[in-house]
Structure 1
Amino acid sequence: MENYSGYFRQGNLIAKYLTGELSSHEKEELDAWVAQSDHNKELFEKLTDEGILNNELSRFASSGKDDAWETIVTKTGFNKPQRHSYIGRRSINYAAAALFFLVSGLLAYQFIYKNTPVKQIVQQQNDLAPGSNKAVLTLADASQINLDDATNGEIAKQADMIISKTADGQLVYEMAKSAVSSSVEPTYTSVYNTITTPRGGKFRVVLPDGSKVWLNAASSLKYPTKFRESERNVELNGEAYFEIAHLKNSRKEAIPFQVRSVGQIVEVLGTHFNINSYSDESSIKTTLLEGKVKVVKTQTISSSKSTKVGGASALILRPGEQAQLAPGIRQKLNLIAQADIEEAVAWKNGQFQFKDTDLPTIMRQISRWYDVKVDFQGKVPDTKFRGKISRDVPLSQFFQILQLSGVNFKLQGRKITIKS
């Protein structure tokens, strides 16, 4: 894992340089870093160029976030810049930090709507590592295998399938050579396995049909060790990204694939899609990247009132679209024609990504990935966030970013307390 702490350290030194707050020791440290490489020198020049800083800050000012600017004016004392205006020294503190995160790749521009001068708000005595490849495999006989402790290679056999764990964190099902070479068609039996990721865990599985599934934290997938010729059905709780193999049976007919989650069924042939079905989220989201899927409500309102009260009973999704199913008795299935694909699958690509995301939503993701409990004390801040950060950073470095919003975080053991 890359050491991100250095990025935060240098960003802080550059901000102090621009505001004239560098100590002699810190100046020596910054000079040494700049001299290390041409890349560092070029980065330093960009981050200290007043024209670039003014342009970036003006872009922020023009985005209509008046409440955020009122907070900045109150806490820093500088005024909202007009287009092409010169940035006062007291404002460069913020702009340098924002630009540094942008160039270093830790944050997208305007990660935070509300901002305060760079300072340490989180005072914590412990830290938590990010999630990793962790899961438990439950076999048909209810025996369990802890996959993060299991050695690489063959770990079990189920019917005619050999189950192996690979060095790069995958669970793979392959037909045994004896079954492949046999001229007798094996009798189908319903033998199911379940892979479950804990909070702070993730895992990948290659299903018996060759389909690939990425499981996010606090999720589970139930599937047969051998699929029927007529259908392929699995059950999902939590979140997963699917790449479904396009298969045909002996009659040259495409074998459909179904993913069942609470309140819906997703029907596919061969395609790439993401399903977020966490019970603590406001809706079940099915996002399509490639191919075509059909999302069907399994609990529809009876009689002719179905469309009027419960929304559509089924939707056909095309690439770039998302279905959102609201839970409860009055389920509503809605189509989002232009979904944010990058945000929907950011977790699978090792990122947290936020676009106008509120703090409770962010903290639910943090809670699952870092395996922590979150407690809000007082009014929940209405701060919203933009940007991305690697899921590989320890929790303290995540807070070093969120702290700029002015929200107070306190970590004790595996409990985060947020005070307004």
Structure 2
Amino acid sequence: MEDFGGYFKQGELIVKYLKGELNDREKEELDQWIAQSAHNQTLFEKLTEEDNLTLQLERFTPSGKEEAWERIVAETGRKSTEKTTYIGIRWMRYAAAALVLVVSGLLVYRFTHKPAVVSPVVQRHSDFVPGTNKAVLTLADASQINLDDAVNGEIAKQADMVITKTADGQLVYNASKSPVSSAQDLTAKPIYNTITTPRGGKFRVILPDGSKVWLNAASSLKYPTKFHRSGRNVELSGEAYFEIARCVDGKKAVPFRVQSAGQIVEVLGTHFNINSYSDEAIVKTTLLEGSVKVVNTQAGTEPDTNPESGSLALVLKPGQQSQLAPGSRPKLNVIAQADLEEAVAWKNGQFQFRDTDLQTIMRQISRWYDVEVDFQGKIPEAKYRGKISRDVPLSQIFQILQSSGVNFKIDGRKITVKS
């Protein structure tokens, strides 16, 4: 697999050039890269053009600059020092946004190996900003809390649970008692909460048992504020990444079950991703650590002797992915060597495509940038490979797609893809 670190290295050199901080060795390295090809020369000129860079940076929201900085920390391993002044931190985070834009420009060549041509229409109007930490929490009494507007700290109580919102976009349930029902309160009616992210939103939640869940855009998770000792059961719509805490009642492990479109995933303690959007053709469950059992709840109770119809249930090992196909006879099959990086790219702040068709790409764009997408004419059959930050304005994605012959018409928040 290609090492994308080189793109960040070149991006860092260009940002240092813009800040006037290149040392002699770095200047020589950058000059050598520029001299390698006419494409590099053209790209360098475009990325360092002051008016263009200023316009692109203005499209970042303040939170977008913050998330861009955190993404660079993750990609490069760098950390700010304690001696950094407030002004220095503010500039470095601004520079991080610039670095994201520069790297996205470099990645145009990862897709097409030719200069991107941006139409004036797209350049003028496609300033759709990426998604941010946004969600709505629905409590047991049906009252709702808008989490992106709520102040940090304690926001609600549910029975003996204190619900807290943290500054880094996380919802935390703190139990004053055991998060698993005891024998005395098994007859009590469960209290359910639901966290829902809109299109253009994401959020994290730490459940009462300590399990961590990352919700992608246009997703929801329903869960009790106290789990039953016979099983910790939640319901998912959309996409989420789970890190399940091991929970024991006495000497018995309490299973964790995720019900999503047409399936139930049962685990004890593990890391996995479920993609169950209603507009995707296949429900995908990808296992990173531990072991999970995936049960096809749409299949009949009698075993099917036809090997092409898939399984009623599968036990996944790390690195595997189950795929549940729809139809009158839903099929549950396993991919022995799944692309783990692609499956969780969204959680790590990336779009990652591996021979991905345009319709799939546009569905991801629609959810993350909160836009409506329509196709006009024949849909291009091209497949795309590459990786780009989810922190960039939508125009950066358009540059990549346009360079391969895809055109767009923009009307408000509706995007028409024209062949």
TM bracket, shorter-chain basis? 0.7 to 0.9
CA distance in 2, matches of 1:208, 1:150: 20
Note closer, same or farther for the CA distance 1:255–1:304 as it changes in structure 2 (3 Å cut): closer
**What residue in structure 1 maps to residue 117 of structure 2?**
119
**What residue in structure 2 maps to residue 354 of structure 1?**
353
Percent identical among aligned pairs is 65
* Gap runs ≥5 in structure 1: 1-6, 15-29, 54-91
CA distance in 2, matches of 1:306, 1:227: 38
1:38-49 matched pairs, under 5 angstroms: 38=23, 41-49=27-35
CA distance in 2, matches of 1:161, 1:340: 38
CA distance in 2, matches of 1:138, 1:372: 25
Deviation at 1:117, TM superposition (A): 3.9
Secondary structure of 2:367's partner? Answer: helix
Describe the superposition over 1:291-317 as per-residue Cα deviations: whole angstroms up to 9, x where unpaired. 000111001145453644531111111
Secondary structure of 1:221's partner? Answer: strand
When the two structures are aligned, how many residues end up with a matched partner? 350
Deviation at 1:407, TM superposition (A): 1.0
Is this contact kept in 1: 2:39–2:114, CA < 8 A?
A: no
TM-score, reference length from structure 1: 0.76
CA distance in 1, matches of 2:404, 2:29: 25
Q: Which stretches of structure 1, 4 residues or longer, exceed 6 Å deviation after superposition?
A: 100-103
1:317-336 matched pairs, under 5 angstroms: 317-336=316-335
**What residue in structure 1 maps to residue 403 of structure 2?**
404
* 1:142 corresponds to 2:142: yes
CA distance in 2, matches of 1:335, 1:42: 50
Describe the superposition over 1:320-339 as per-residue Cα deviations: whole angstroms up to 9, x where unpaired. 10000001222111110110
1:23-172 matched pairs, under 5 angstroms: 33=18, 36-38=21-23, 41-50=27-36, 92-93=38-39, 97=43, 105-106=103-104, 111-113=110-112, 117-121=115-119, 123-124=121-122, 125-126=124-125, 127-172=127-172
CA distance in 1, matches of 2:201, 2:329: 33
Is this contact kept in 2: 1:375–1:418, CA < 8 A?
A: yes
* Gap runs ≥5 in structure 2: 1-6, 48-98
Note closer, same or farther for the CA distance 1:398–1:122 as it changes in structure 2 (3 Å cut): farther
Tell me the amino acid that sits aligned with residue 171 of structure 1. Answer: L
Describe the superposition over 1:363-398 as per-residue Cα deviations: whole angstroms up to 9, x where unpaired. 000000000001111111112211111111111122
Is this contact kept in 2: 1:47–1:96, CA < 8 A?
A: no
CA distance in 1, matches of 2:415, 2:281: 22
Tell me the amino acid that sits aligned with residue 268 of structure 1. Answer: V
Secondary structure of 1:315's partner? Answer: strand
* 1:365 corresponds to 2:364: yes
1:247-326 matched pairs, under 5 angstroms: 247-250=247-250, 252-301=251-300, 303-305=302-304, 307-308=306-307, 310-326=309-325
Secondary structure of 2:234's partner? Answer: strand
Deviation at 1:356, TM superposition (A): 1.1
Describe the superposition over 1:22-58 as per-residue Cα deviations: whole angstroms up to 9, x where unpaired. xxxxxxxx997496513762453342343xx5xxxxx
CA RMSD of aligned residues (A): 3.1
**What residue in structure 2 maps to residue 4 of structure 1?**
none
Secondary structure of 1:328's partner? Answer: coil
Tell me the amino acid that sits aligned with residue 120 of structure 1. Answer: V
CA distance in 1, matches of 2:226, 2:107: 44
TM-score, reference length from structure 2: 0.76
Deviation at 1:116, TM superposition (A): 5.1
Note closer, same or farther for the CA distance 1:253–1:304 as it changes in structure 2 (3 Å cut): closer
Deviation at 1:400, TM superposition (A): 2.0
Describe the superposition over 1:61-97 as per-residue Cα deviations: whole angstroms up to 9, x where unpaired. xxxxxxxxxxxxxxxxxxxxxxxxxxxxxxx438975
Deviation at 1:111, TM superposition (A): 3.0
* 1:394 corresponds to 2:340: no
**What residue in structure 1 maps to residue 89 of structure 2?**
none
Tell me the amino acid that sits aligned with residue 147 of structure 2. Answer: L
CA distance in 1, matches of 2:19, 2:129: 30
Q: Compare CA radii of gyration and give the structure with the larger one.
A: 1
CA distance in 2, matches of 1:186, 1:31: 61
Deviation at 1:358, TM superposition (A): 1.1
CA distance in 1, matches of 2:16, 2:175: 60
Describe the superposition over 1:338-370 as per-residue Cα deviations: whole angstroms up to 9, x where unpaired. 100000000001111111111111100000000
Is this contact kept in 2: 1:197–1:215, CA < 8 A?
A: yes
Note closer, same or farther for the CA distance 1:329–1:306 as it changes in structure 2 (3 Å cut): farther
Is this contact kept in 2: 1:219–1:238, CA < 8 A?
A: yes
Note closer, same or farther for the CA distance 1:403–1:44 as it changes in structure 2 (3 Å cut): farther
CA distance in 2, matches of 1:43, 1:351: 27
**What residue in structure 2 maps to residue 25 of structure 1?**
none
Deviation at 1:157, TM superposition (A): 0.9
Note closer, same or farther for the CA distance 1:206–1:32 as it changes in structure 2 (3 Å cut): closer
CA distance in 2, matches of 1:31, 1:240: 37
Note closer, same or farther for the CA distance 1:157–1:362 as it changes in structure 2 (3 Å cut): same
CA distance in 1, matches of 2:211, 2:410: 40
Note closer, same or farther for the CA distance 1:160–1:132 as it changes in structure 2 (3 Å cut): same
